[in-house]
Chain A
Amino acid sequence: MNANTTPNKVLVVDDVETNLTVFAKVVGQIPETEAVCFTSAVKALEWAGQNECVLIIVDQSMPELSGIEFISQVRSRGNSYTPIVMITGHSEKELQREALKLGASAFLGKPVDPVAFVSLARNLIQLRGARLETMAKAGAAHADQQSATEALFAQERNTLEALVKIIDLRDPRTGDHCRRVALFSEAIASKMGLSMIEVTQLAQAARIHDIGKLSMPDRVLYKTSRLLGDERDAAKKHVVDGTAMLAGFTTPILHAAAEIVHSHHERFDGTGYPAKLAGPAIPLFARIVAVADTFSALTSRRPWREAASVSIAVEQIEKESGFGFEPKIVGAFRDVMPELLDIRAEVPDLVPAR
Protein backbone atom coordinates (compact mmCIF):
# COMPACT_ATOMS: atom_id res chain seq x y z
CA MET A 1 0.00 0.00 0.00
CA ASN A 2 1.06 3.52 -0.75
CA ALA A 3 1.50 5.50 2.44
CA ASN A 4 1.06 8.97 0.98
CA THR A 5 -2.57 8.65 -0.14
CA THR A 6 -5.60 9.98 1.73
CA PRO A 7 -6.44 7.67 4.62
CA ASN A 8 -10.19 8.27 4.88
CA LYS A 9 -11.53 6.53 1.82
CA VAL A 10 -14.08 3.73 2.01
CA LEU A 11 -13.82 1.39 -0.96
CA VAL A 12 -17.21 0.08 -2.10
CA VAL A 13 -17.47 -2.70 -4.68
CA ASP A 14 -20.82 -3.75 -6.12
CA ASP A 15 -21.64 -4.51 -9.75
CA VAL A 16 -25.02 -2.73 -9.47
CA GLU A 17 -24.64 1.01 -10.00
CA THR A 18 -27.75 1.95 -7.99
CA ASN A 19 -26.51 -0.07 -5.00
CA LEU A 20 -23.33 2.02 -5.12
CA THR A 21 -25.37 5.24 -5.13
CA VAL A 22 -27.05 4.17 -1.90
CA PHE A 23 -23.77 3.04 -0.34
CA ALA A 24 -22.10 6.33 -1.23
CA LYS A 25 -24.87 8.15 0.64
CA VAL A 26 -24.64 5.85 3.66
CA VAL A 27 -20.85 6.11 3.78
CA GLY A 28 -21.31 9.89 3.68
CA GLN A 29 -22.94 9.60 7.11
CA ILE A 30 -19.67 8.38 8.63
CA PRO A 31 -17.62 11.42 9.73
CA GLU A 32 -14.47 12.24 7.72
CA THR A 33 -14.95 9.54 5.14
CA GLU A 34 -15.90 9.39 1.50
CA ALA A 35 -16.83 6.48 -0.70
CA VAL A 36 -14.74 5.34 -3.66
CA CYS A 37 -17.08 3.16 -5.71
CA PHE A 38 -16.38 0.51 -8.33
CA THR A 39 -18.75 -1.68 -10.31
CA SER A 40 -15.73 -3.70 -11.49
CA ALA A 41 -14.11 -5.87 -8.82
CA VAL A 42 -10.95 -6.14 -10.92
CA LYS A 43 -10.55 -2.36 -11.12
CA ALA A 44 -11.32 -2.08 -7.40
CA LEU A 45 -8.58 -4.60 -6.66
CA GLU A 46 -6.15 -2.58 -8.74
CA TRP A 47 -7.16 0.59 -6.87
CA ALA A 48 -6.81 -1.15 -3.49
CA GLY A 49 -3.28 -2.17 -4.44
CA GLN A 50 -2.24 1.45 -4.95
CA ASN A 51 -4.30 3.38 -2.40
CA GLU A 52 -4.95 3.36 1.30
CA CYS A 53 -8.52 3.01 2.55
CA VAL A 54 -10.02 2.70 6.01
CA LEU A 55 -12.72 0.19 5.15
CA ILE A 56 -13.74 -2.06 2.25
CA ILE A 57 -17.36 -2.94 1.49
CA VAL A 58 -17.82 -5.72 -1.04
CA ASP A 59 -20.82 -7.48 -2.54
CA GLN A 60 -20.68 -11.28 -2.89
CA SER A 61 -22.35 -11.90 -6.25
CA MET A 62 -20.36 -10.14 -8.97
CA PRO A 63 -19.52 -11.30 -12.48
CA GLU A 64 -15.73 -10.83 -12.65
CA LEU A 65 -14.77 -11.89 -9.14
CA SER A 66 -17.00 -13.02 -6.30
CA GLY A 67 -16.79 -11.18 -2.99
CA ILE A 68 -14.98 -14.20 -1.55
CA GLU A 69 -12.37 -14.13 -4.33
CA PHE A 70 -11.98 -10.38 -3.92
CA ILE A 71 -11.33 -10.73 -0.17
CA SER A 72 -8.87 -13.53 -0.79
CA GLN A 73 -6.94 -11.45 -3.29
CA VAL A 74 -6.85 -8.34 -1.08
CA ARG A 75 -5.51 -10.41 1.82
CA SER A 76 -3.04 -12.37 -0.32
CA ARG A 77 -1.52 -9.06 -1.45
CA GLY A 78 -0.46 -8.39 2.12
CA ASN A 79 -3.29 -6.10 3.24
CA SER A 80 -4.17 -7.69 6.55
CA TYR A 81 -5.38 -4.68 8.53
CA THR A 82 -8.08 -2.96 6.43
CA PRO A 83 -11.45 -4.21 7.69
CA ILE A 84 -13.69 -5.78 5.04
CA VAL A 85 -17.46 -6.01 5.30
CA MET A 86 -19.16 -8.40 2.92
CA ILE A 87 -22.67 -7.43 1.83
CA THR A 88 -24.71 -10.32 0.60
CA GLY A 89 -28.20 -11.51 0.04
CA HIS A 90 -26.98 -15.02 0.74
CA SER A 91 -27.39 -16.31 4.26
CA GLU A 92 -25.48 -19.56 3.85
CA LYS A 93 -23.30 -20.30 6.85
CA GLU A 94 -20.70 -22.02 4.65
CA LEU A 95 -20.22 -18.91 2.54
CA GLN A 96 -19.82 -16.76 5.63
CA ARG A 97 -17.36 -19.18 7.20
CA GLU A 98 -15.31 -19.24 4.01
CA ALA A 99 -15.26 -15.44 3.87
CA LEU A 100 -14.22 -15.21 7.52
CA LYS A 101 -11.44 -17.71 6.93
CA LEU A 102 -10.20 -15.58 4.04
CA GLY A 103 -10.20 -12.40 6.10
CA ALA A 104 -13.67 -10.81 6.08
CA SER A 105 -14.31 -8.76 9.21
CA ALA A 106 -18.15 -8.76 9.23
CA PHE A 107 -21.30 -9.39 7.19
CA LEU A 108 -24.38 -7.35 6.53
CA GLY A 109 -27.47 -8.62 4.75
CA LYS A 110 -29.21 -6.82 1.90
CA PRO A 111 -30.80 -4.33 2.03
CA VAL A 112 -28.33 -2.72 4.38
CA ASP A 113 -29.81 -0.95 7.38
CA PRO A 114 -28.10 2.46 7.41
CA VAL A 115 -27.99 2.80 11.19
CA ALA A 116 -26.52 -0.68 11.68
CA PHE A 117 -24.05 -0.08 8.87
CA VAL A 118 -22.79 3.28 10.14
CA SER A 119 -22.36 1.89 13.65
CA LEU A 120 -20.46 -1.17 12.43
CA ALA A 121 -18.32 0.88 10.05
CA ARG A 122 -17.36 3.36 12.78
CA ASN A 123 -16.30 0.53 15.09
CA LEU A 124 -14.25 -1.20 12.41
CA ILE A 125 -12.57 2.04 11.36
CA GLN A 126 -11.71 2.82 14.99
CA LEU A 127 -10.32 -0.68 15.42
CA ARG A 128 -8.14 -0.23 12.36
CA GLY A 129 -6.90 3.10 13.69
CA ALA A 130 -5.99 1.49 17.01
CA ARG A 131 -4.09 -1.29 15.24
CA LEU A 132 -2.15 1.17 13.11
CA GLU A 133 -1.37 3.27 16.19
CA THR A 134 0.01 0.23 17.94
CA MET A 135 2.11 -0.54 14.88
CA ALA A 136 3.40 3.03 14.74
CA LYS A 137 4.34 2.90 18.44
CA ALA A 138 6.29 -0.21 17.79
CA GLY A 139 8.67 2.03 15.75
CA ALA A 140 12.09 0.47 15.68
CA ALA A 141 10.60 -2.88 16.53
CA HIS A 142 8.60 -2.64 13.34
CA ALA A 143 11.77 -2.03 11.32
CA ASP A 144 13.27 -5.09 12.94
CA GLN A 145 10.15 -6.98 12.02
CA GLN A 146 10.55 -5.92 8.40
CA SER A 147 14.07 -7.22 8.19
CA ALA A 148 12.91 -10.37 9.95
CA THR A 149 10.19 -10.69 7.29
CA GLU A 150 12.76 -10.31 4.53
CA ALA A 151 14.89 -12.99 6.17
CA LEU A 152 11.83 -15.19 6.39
CA PHE A 153 11.14 -14.75 2.66
CA ALA A 154 14.76 -15.66 1.85
CA GLN A 155 14.34 -18.74 3.99
CA GLU A 156 11.12 -19.51 2.14
CA ARG A 157 12.92 -19.41 -1.21
CA ASN A 158 15.60 -21.76 0.13
CA THR A 159 12.98 -24.13 1.53
CA LEU A 160 11.13 -24.18 -1.77
CA GLU A 161 14.30 -24.97 -3.72
CA ALA A 162 15.11 -27.77 -1.28
CA LEU A 163 11.62 -29.27 -1.69
CA VAL A 164 11.88 -29.07 -5.50
CA LYS A 165 15.25 -30.85 -5.29
CA ILE A 166 13.81 -33.59 -3.07
CA ILE A 167 10.99 -34.21 -5.58
CA ASP A 168 13.52 -34.36 -8.44
CA LEU A 169 15.69 -36.87 -6.58
CA ARG A 170 12.81 -39.12 -5.56
CA ASP A 171 11.12 -39.15 -8.97
CA PRO A 172 12.52 -37.08 -11.88
CA ARG A 173 9.33 -37.73 -13.89
CA THR A 174 7.23 -36.04 -11.20
CA GLY A 175 9.83 -33.26 -11.02
CA ASP A 176 9.51 -32.53 -14.74
CA HIS A 177 5.73 -32.76 -14.56
CA CYS A 178 5.75 -30.20 -11.70
CA ARG A 179 7.98 -27.89 -13.75
CA ARG A 180 5.66 -28.10 -16.75
CA VAL A 181 2.56 -27.55 -14.63
CA ALA A 182 4.16 -24.50 -12.96
CA LEU A 183 5.00 -22.95 -16.35
CA PHE A 184 1.57 -23.81 -17.82
CA SER A 185 -0.12 -22.30 -14.74
CA GLU A 186 1.98 -19.15 -15.02
CA ALA A 187 0.95 -18.67 -18.67
CA ILE A 188 -2.74 -19.26 -17.94
CA ALA A 189 -2.74 -16.96 -14.90
CA SER A 190 -1.03 -14.17 -16.87
CA LYS A 191 -3.69 -14.48 -19.57
CA MET A 192 -6.39 -14.27 -16.90
CA GLY A 193 -5.01 -10.92 -15.80
CA LEU A 194 -3.77 -11.90 -12.33
CA SER A 195 -1.28 -9.44 -10.86
CA MET A 196 2.43 -10.00 -11.36
CA ILE A 197 2.82 -10.89 -7.67
CA GLU A 198 0.06 -13.48 -7.89
CA VAL A 199 1.41 -14.99 -11.10
CA THR A 200 4.86 -15.28 -9.52
CA GLN A 201 3.47 -16.82 -6.34
CA LEU A 202 1.44 -19.33 -8.34
CA ALA A 203 4.37 -20.23 -10.62
CA GLN A 204 6.60 -20.87 -7.60
CA ALA A 205 4.00 -22.68 -5.51
CA ALA A 206 2.92 -24.98 -8.36
CA ARG A 207 6.47 -26.34 -8.60
CA ILE A 208 5.70 -28.52 -5.60
CA HIS A 209 2.03 -29.25 -6.26
CA ASP A 210 2.69 -33.01 -6.26
CA ILE A 211 4.97 -33.00 -3.21
CA GLY A 212 2.60 -35.46 -1.56
CA LYS A 213 3.90 -38.13 -3.96
CA LEU A 214 7.04 -38.25 -1.81
CA SER A 215 5.09 -40.38 0.65
CA MET A 216 3.78 -42.81 -1.98
CA PRO A 217 5.07 -46.37 -1.67
CA ASP A 218 7.68 -47.23 -4.35
CA ARG A 219 5.38 -49.94 -5.73
CA VAL A 220 2.83 -47.23 -6.55
CA LEU A 221 5.07 -44.32 -7.50
CA TYR A 222 7.30 -46.32 -9.84
CA LYS A 223 4.69 -48.78 -11.09
CA THR A 224 4.96 -49.25 -14.85
CA SER A 225 1.43 -50.44 -15.42
CA ARG A 226 -1.96 -48.87 -14.70
CA LEU A 227 -2.79 -48.38 -11.00
CA LEU A 228 -5.47 -50.65 -9.58
CA GLY A 229 -7.74 -50.68 -6.52
CA ASP A 230 -5.81 -49.88 -3.36
CA GLU A 231 -2.94 -48.47 -5.45
CA ARG A 232 -5.29 -45.80 -6.78
CA ASP A 233 -6.37 -45.01 -3.21
CA ALA A 234 -2.73 -44.74 -2.17
CA ALA A 235 -2.05 -42.40 -5.09
CA LYS A 236 -5.05 -40.22 -4.26
CA LYS A 237 -3.68 -39.84 -0.75
CA HIS A 238 -0.89 -37.60 -2.09
CA VAL A 239 -3.04 -34.48 -1.73
CA VAL A 240 -3.65 -35.09 1.96
CA ASP A 241 -0.06 -36.18 2.66
CA GLY A 242 1.30 -33.17 0.77
CA THR A 243 -0.92 -30.82 2.74
CA ALA A 244 0.37 -32.34 5.98
CA MET A 245 3.97 -31.85 4.78
CA LEU A 246 3.35 -28.13 4.23
CA ALA A 247 1.18 -27.56 7.30
CA GLY A 248 2.43 -24.74 9.46
CA PHE A 249 4.14 -22.76 6.69
CA THR A 250 2.65 -19.28 6.75
CA THR A 251 4.88 -17.48 4.21
CA PRO A 252 2.95 -16.60 1.02
CA ILE A 253 4.39 -19.07 -1.48
CA LEU A 254 4.42 -22.10 0.81
CA HIS A 255 0.96 -21.20 2.11
CA ALA A 256 -0.27 -20.95 -1.49
CA ALA A 257 1.49 -24.24 -2.25
CA ALA A 258 -0.36 -25.93 0.61
CA GLU A 259 -3.69 -24.76 -0.85
CA ILE A 260 -2.74 -25.98 -4.32
CA VAL A 261 -1.47 -29.33 -3.02
CA HIS A 262 -4.71 -29.86 -1.12
CA SER A 263 -7.18 -28.76 -3.80
CA HIS A 264 -5.74 -29.38 -7.27
CA HIS A 265 -7.79 -32.56 -7.66
CA GLU A 266 -11.04 -30.89 -6.61
CA ARG A 267 -13.50 -30.46 -9.48
CA PHE A 268 -15.41 -27.28 -10.29
CA ASP A 269 -18.72 -29.17 -9.93
CA GLY A 270 -17.85 -30.44 -6.45
CA THR A 271 -17.18 -34.10 -7.34
CA GLY A 272 -13.42 -34.07 -6.88
CA TYR A 273 -11.26 -34.98 -3.91
CA PRO A 274 -10.31 -34.78 -1.09
CA ALA A 275 -12.98 -32.35 0.20
CA LYS A 276 -15.49 -32.16 -2.69
CA LEU A 277 -15.11 -28.39 -2.80
CA ALA A 278 -16.94 -26.64 -5.65
CA GLY A 279 -16.63 -23.42 -7.66
CA PRO A 280 -15.06 -20.47 -5.85
CA ALA A 281 -14.67 -22.54 -2.68
CA ILE A 282 -11.71 -24.12 -4.46
CA PRO A 283 -8.78 -21.70 -4.15
CA LEU A 284 -8.15 -19.86 -7.45
CA PHE A 285 -4.55 -21.09 -7.75
CA ALA A 286 -5.72 -24.71 -7.34
CA ARG A 287 -8.40 -24.21 -10.02
CA ILE A 288 -5.72 -23.00 -12.44
CA VAL A 289 -3.27 -25.78 -11.55
CA ALA A 290 -6.05 -28.36 -12.07
CA VAL A 291 -6.24 -27.42 -15.77
CA ALA A 292 -2.45 -27.25 -16.19
CA ASP A 293 -1.98 -30.56 -14.35
CA THR A 294 -4.52 -32.35 -16.54
CA PHE A 295 -2.98 -30.99 -19.74
CA SER A 296 0.49 -32.09 -18.64
CA ALA A 297 -0.75 -35.54 -17.58
CA LEU A 298 -2.79 -36.18 -20.74
CA THR A 299 -0.01 -35.16 -23.11
CA SER A 300 2.65 -37.16 -21.26
CA ARG A 301 3.48 -40.72 -22.13
CA ARG A 302 2.98 -43.31 -19.41
CA PRO A 303 4.61 -46.74 -19.45
CA TRP A 304 1.15 -48.24 -19.96
CA ARG A 305 -0.21 -45.78 -22.51
CA GLU A 306 0.86 -43.39 -25.22
CA ALA A 307 0.56 -39.64 -24.73
CA ALA A 308 -2.67 -38.11 -26.00
CA SER A 309 -2.27 -35.70 -28.88
CA VAL A 310 -2.58 -32.02 -28.05
CA SER A 311 -5.88 -31.75 -29.91
CA ILE A 312 -7.39 -34.68 -28.00
CA ALA A 313 -6.13 -33.27 -24.68
CA VAL A 314 -7.61 -29.85 -25.48
CA GLU A 315 -10.89 -31.46 -26.52
CA GLN A 316 -11.08 -33.43 -23.25
CA ILE A 317 -10.35 -30.34 -21.15
CA GLU A 318 -12.94 -28.27 -23.06
CA LYS A 319 -15.47 -31.04 -22.55
CA GLU A 320 -14.88 -30.69 -18.80
CA SER A 321 -15.43 -26.92 -18.86
CA GLY A 322 -18.03 -26.13 -16.19
CA PHE A 323 -17.74 -29.65 -14.78
CA GLY A 324 -14.15 -30.43 -13.86
CA PHE A 325 -12.80 -26.99 -14.57
CA GLU A 326 -13.79 -23.35 -14.34
CA PRO A 327 -14.88 -22.12 -17.82
CA LYS A 328 -12.94 -18.85 -17.50
CA ILE A 329 -9.72 -20.79 -16.87
CA VAL A 330 -10.39 -23.19 -19.75
CA GLY A 331 -10.85 -20.10 -21.99
CA ALA A 332 -7.49 -18.66 -20.92
CA PHE A 333 -5.89 -22.12 -21.34
CA ARG A 334 -7.12 -22.26 -24.95
CA ASP A 335 -5.90 -18.71 -25.61
CA VAL A 336 -2.33 -19.44 -24.51
CA MET A 337 -2.01 -22.75 -26.34
CA PRO A 338 0.97 -21.63 -28.51
CA GLU A 339 2.84 -20.71 -25.33
CA LEU A 340 1.95 -24.04 -23.71
CA LEU A 341 3.28 -25.92 -26.73
CA ASP A 342 6.58 -24.04 -26.45
CA ILE A 343 6.78 -25.02 -22.76
CA ARG A 344 6.13 -28.67 -23.64
CA ALA A 345 9.01 -28.52 -26.08
CA GLU A 346 11.29 -26.97 -23.45
CA VAL A 347 10.38 -29.41 -20.66
CA PRO A 348 9.78 -32.69 -22.45
CA ASP A 349 8.52 -35.94 -21.01
CA LEU A 350 11.20 -38.24 -19.59
CA VAL A 351 9.41 -41.55 -19.93
CA PRO A 352 10.94 -43.56 -22.75
CA ALA A 353 8.81 -44.85 -25.61
CA ARG A 354 7.53 -48.40 -25.31
Chain B
Amino acid sequence: MGDTPILEISRLEEIFEDDSGGIADLLEAAMGTGATNQATLRDALSRHVLEDVMRAAHAIKGSTANIGGNEVAAVAARIEDAARAQTWDGIEPAAIELDEAYERLRGAVRAYRAGIS
Protein backbone atom coordinates (compact mmCIF):
# COMPACT_ATOMS: atom_id res chain seq x y z
CA MET B 1 0.00 0.00 0.00
CA GLY B 2 1.51 3.39 -1.02
CA ASP B 3 0.54 6.97 -0.25
CA THR B 4 -2.38 6.92 -2.68
CA PRO B 5 -5.65 7.13 -0.71
CA ILE B 6 -7.81 4.02 -0.89
CA LEU B 7 -11.03 6.05 -1.16
CA GLU B 8 -11.02 9.79 -1.91
CA ILE B 9 -14.60 10.84 -1.37
CA SER B 10 -14.33 14.66 -1.75
CA ARG B 11 -15.10 14.68 -5.50
CA LEU B 12 -18.26 12.62 -5.01
CA GLU B 13 -19.30 14.87 -2.11
CA GLU B 14 -18.92 17.85 -4.41
CA ILE B 15 -21.11 16.16 -7.02
CA PHE B 16 -23.70 14.58 -4.72
CA GLU B 17 -23.72 17.46 -2.19
CA ASP B 18 -25.63 16.27 0.91
CA ASP B 19 -26.80 12.99 -0.58
CA SER B 20 -24.49 10.66 1.35
CA GLY B 21 -26.99 7.81 0.89
CA GLY B 22 -26.66 8.31 -2.87
CA ILE B 23 -22.86 8.17 -2.57
CA ALA B 24 -23.04 4.95 -0.54
CA ASP B 25 -25.39 3.39 -3.13
CA LEU B 26 -23.02 4.39 -5.93
CA LEU B 27 -19.99 2.99 -4.12
CA GLU B 28 -21.75 -0.32 -3.49
CA ALA B 29 -22.87 -0.52 -7.13
CA ALA B 30 -19.27 0.16 -8.18
CA MET B 31 -18.09 -2.72 -5.97
CA GLY B 32 -20.50 -4.99 -7.86
CA THR B 33 -19.05 -3.84 -11.18
CA GLY B 34 -15.61 -4.22 -9.66
CA ALA B 35 -16.17 -7.89 -8.88
CA THR B 36 -17.15 -8.50 -12.51
CA ASN B 37 -14.14 -6.55 -13.76
CA GLN B 38 -11.80 -8.48 -11.44
CA ALA B 39 -13.16 -11.76 -12.78
CA THR B 40 -12.63 -10.52 -16.35
CA LEU B 41 -9.04 -9.58 -15.55
CA ARG B 42 -8.35 -12.94 -13.87
CA ASP B 43 -9.76 -14.71 -16.91
CA ALA B 44 -7.55 -12.64 -19.26
CA LEU B 45 -4.53 -13.43 -17.08
CA SER B 46 -5.27 -17.14 -17.09
CA ARG B 47 -5.62 -17.08 -20.88
CA HIS B 48 -2.41 -15.05 -21.10
CA VAL B 49 -3.87 -12.55 -23.59
CA LEU B 50 -2.26 -9.12 -23.15
CA GLU B 51 -4.87 -7.29 -25.22
CA ASP B 52 -7.67 -8.55 -22.94
CA VAL B 53 -5.59 -7.80 -19.83
CA MET B 54 -5.17 -4.24 -21.08
CA ARG B 55 -8.92 -3.84 -21.68
CA ALA B 56 -9.89 -5.28 -18.30
CA ALA B 57 -7.33 -3.14 -16.47
CA HIS B 58 -8.53 -0.08 -18.37
CA ALA B 59 -12.13 -0.77 -17.32
CA ILE B 60 -11.07 -1.16 -13.67
CA LYS B 61 -9.01 2.04 -13.81
CA GLY B 62 -11.90 4.08 -15.25
CA SER B 63 -14.63 2.77 -12.99
CA THR B 64 -12.62 3.03 -9.75
CA ALA B 65 -11.12 6.46 -10.56
CA ASN B 66 -14.69 7.63 -11.10
CA ILE B 67 -15.63 6.85 -7.49
CA GLY B 68 -12.34 8.00 -5.97
CA GLY B 69 -10.90 4.49 -5.57
CA ASN B 70 -7.50 5.94 -6.32
CA GLU B 71 -5.28 3.13 -5.04
CA VAL B 72 -7.05 0.48 -7.14
CA ALA B 73 -7.08 2.87 -10.13
CA ALA B 74 -3.32 3.46 -9.78
CA VAL B 75 -2.52 -0.29 -9.68
CA ALA B 76 -4.86 -0.92 -12.62
CA ALA B 77 -3.11 1.87 -14.56
CA ARG B 78 0.25 0.10 -14.02
CA ILE B 79 -1.18 -3.15 -15.36
CA GLU B 80 -2.75 -1.37 -18.33
CA ASP B 81 0.48 0.47 -19.15
CA ALA B 82 2.53 -2.74 -19.02
CA ALA B 83 0.02 -4.59 -21.20
CA ARG B 84 -0.05 -1.68 -23.65
CA ALA B 85 3.76 -1.87 -23.80
CA GLN B 86 3.36 -5.60 -24.63
CA THR B 87 5.22 -6.81 -21.57
CA TRP B 88 4.25 -9.24 -18.81
CA ASP B 89 6.90 -7.73 -16.51
CA GLY B 90 5.29 -6.85 -13.20
CA ILE B 91 1.75 -7.74 -14.26
CA GLU B 92 1.30 -10.86 -12.10
CA PRO B 93 2.48 -9.19 -8.84
CA ALA B 94 0.43 -6.09 -9.69
CA ALA B 95 -2.65 -8.29 -10.16
CA ILE B 96 -2.17 -9.66 -6.63
CA GLU B 97 -1.68 -6.09 -5.40
CA LEU B 98 -4.88 -5.13 -7.21
CA ASP B 99 -6.93 -7.81 -5.42
CA GLU B 100 -5.53 -6.62 -2.07
CA ALA B 101 -6.29 -2.99 -2.90
CA TYR B 102 -9.83 -3.97 -3.94
CA GLU B 103 -10.33 -5.65 -0.55
CA ARG B 104 -9.19 -2.45 1.18
CA LEU B 105 -11.54 -0.43 -1.03
CA ARG B 106 -14.45 -2.73 -0.13
CA GLY B 107 -13.60 -2.21 3.53
CA ALA B 108 -13.56 1.56 3.04
CA VAL B 109 -16.95 1.42 1.26
CA ARG B 110 -18.41 -0.62 4.14
CA ALA B 111 -16.96 1.86 6.61
CA TYR B 112 -18.47 4.76 4.67
CA ARG B 113 -21.92 3.15 4.75
CA ALA B 114 -21.59 2.42 8.46
CA GLY B 115 -20.50 6.00 9.11
CA ILE B 116 -23.62 7.54 7.61
CA SER B 117 -26.23 5.25 9.11
Contacts of A29 in B (CB 8 A): 15
Closest to B22 in A: A25
Contacts of A111 in B (CB 8 A): 11, 65-66, 68
Is B65 a contact of A16 with CB atoms below 8 Å? Answer: no
Q: Which of B15, B16, B22, B59 has a CB less than 8 Å from the CB of A16? A: B59
A29 to B29, CA, bound (A): 22
Most buried by B among A17, A18, A26, A115: A18
Q: Which of A18, A25, A59, A61 has a CB less than 8 Å from the CB of B15? A: A25
Sample (30) of A-B pairs whose CB atoms are under 8 Å apart: A16-B33, A16-B59, A16-B62, A16-B66, A17-B33, A18-B26, A18-B29, A18-B33, A18-B66, A18-B67, A19-B63, A19-B66, A21-B26, A22-B12, A22-B66, A22-B67, A25-B15, A25-B16, A25-B22, A26-B15, A59-B62, A61-B55, A61-B58, A61-B59, A89-B65, A110-B61, A110-B65, A111-B11, A111-B66, A114-B15
B3 at interface by CB-CB < 8 Å: no
How large, as a class, is the contact surface on chain B?
20 to 34
| Given A16-B59, A16-B62, A89-B61, 10 new contacts (CB under 8 A) | A17-B33, A18-B30, A18-B63, A19-B63, A25-B15, A61-B58, A89-B58, A110-B61, A110-B62, A115-B14
Is B16 a contact of A17 with CB atoms below 8 Å? Answer: no
Contacts of A25 in B (CB 8 A): 15-16, 22
A111 to B61, CA, bound (A): 10
Contacts of B22 in A (CB 8 A): 25
Closest 8 CB pairs of A and B: A18-B30, A111-B65, A16-B63, A25-B15, A111-B66, A19-B66, A114-B15, A18-B29
Contacts of B68 in A (CB 8 A): 111
A29 to B17, CA, bound (A): 11
CB interface residues, B 1-60, toward A, < 8 Å? 11-12, 14-16, 22, 26, 29-30, 33, 55, 58-59
Contacts of A17 in B (CB 8 A): 29, 33
A114 to B12, CA, bound (A): 9
Interface string of A54-88 (1 = CB under 8 A from B): 00000101000000000000000000000000000
A195 to B65, CA, bound (A): 35
Is A22 a contact of B55 with CB atoms below 8 Å? Answer: no
B80 vs chain A, min Cβ distance (A):
8
B65 vs chain A, min Cβ distance (A):
5
A61 to B59, CA, bound (A): 8
Most buried by A among B14, B15, B59: B15
A59 to B66, CA, bound (A): 12
Q: Which of B14, B15, B55, B66 has a CB less than 8 Å from the CB of A110? A: B66
A17 to B26, CA, bound (A): 10
CB interface residues, A 90-130, toward B, < 8 Å? 110-111, 113-115
Contacts of A61 in B (CB 8 A): 55, 58-59, 62
A16 to B113, CA, bound (A): 22
Is A22 a contact of B26 with CB atoms below 8 Å? Answer: yes
Q: Which of B14, B29, B58, B62 has a CB less than 8 Å from the CB of A21? A: B29
Is A19 a contact of B62 with CB atoms below 8 Å? Answer: yes
A20 vs chain B, min Cβ distance (A):
10
A19 to B63, CA, bound (A): 7
A25 to B59, CA, bound (A): 21
